Amino acid sequence: MTPSARAGWSTGTTGATAQAACTHRSPTTSWGGINAINVSASTARASYWPGAPLLETRSSGILRIHTLPVSDPLGLAVRGDRLLLLGGNERGTDTATRMSTLHQVQLAEDGAVVVGRQELVFPNGDPVRRYARPVCRGPHIYLRTLRTLRQWWVLTAS
């Protein structure tokens, strides 16, 4: 079975890929951690805790910071000015967000807005409740279910 997302996100399978995670020390001497990282050919993006910033740097060395409407996402896919965030907590909602929630986000110069939200499900309609740490590269989020760590699933931002 392959997981799929409703409302126009495509899926597929792929082989093994590398996984990255890191932490950093903030200027206030407390420890923070990167929740999601995405690296493409010329750009690196990361969302870190605490809060909901998206850091973006290109090969030019210029650093941009966007405030996201979703904090602590577990996965991040990027296509142009559109983001696909896996999991996280959306501001302005009174319910806790499940790990399987997909947020479609549109970036703008002055911030970002959630333009869509779906639940990640298997083809038979069962929700995807647990998965290994996602790996993100460009427009793709790679997932492994904990039940079969050899099988990779791909979510693609469109």
Task: Give Cα separations from 149 to 15, 54, 140 (angstroms).
Answer: 11, 29, 18
Q: Which of 131, 123, 76 minimizes the C-alpha distance to 98?
A: 131
What is the reported pLDDT for 94?
65
Give CA–CA dist 19/4, Å, rounded: 22
Phi/psi of residue 53, each to 5°?
Answer: -85, 150
What is the reported pLDDT for 57?
92
Model pTM?
A: 0.74
Domain assignments of the chain as residue spans, ordered by start: 4-156
Token pair listed for 45: 């993006």
Give CA–CA dist 37/45, Å, rounded: 6
pLDDT digits (tens, 9 = 90+) for 75-84: 999 999 999 9
Q: Which of 39, 35, 63 minimizes the C-alpha distance to 48?
A: 35
pLDDT digits (tens, 9 = 90+) for 101-153: 899 999 988 789 999 999 888 777 878 877 778 899 999 999 887 777 777 88
What is the reported pLDDT for 30?
41
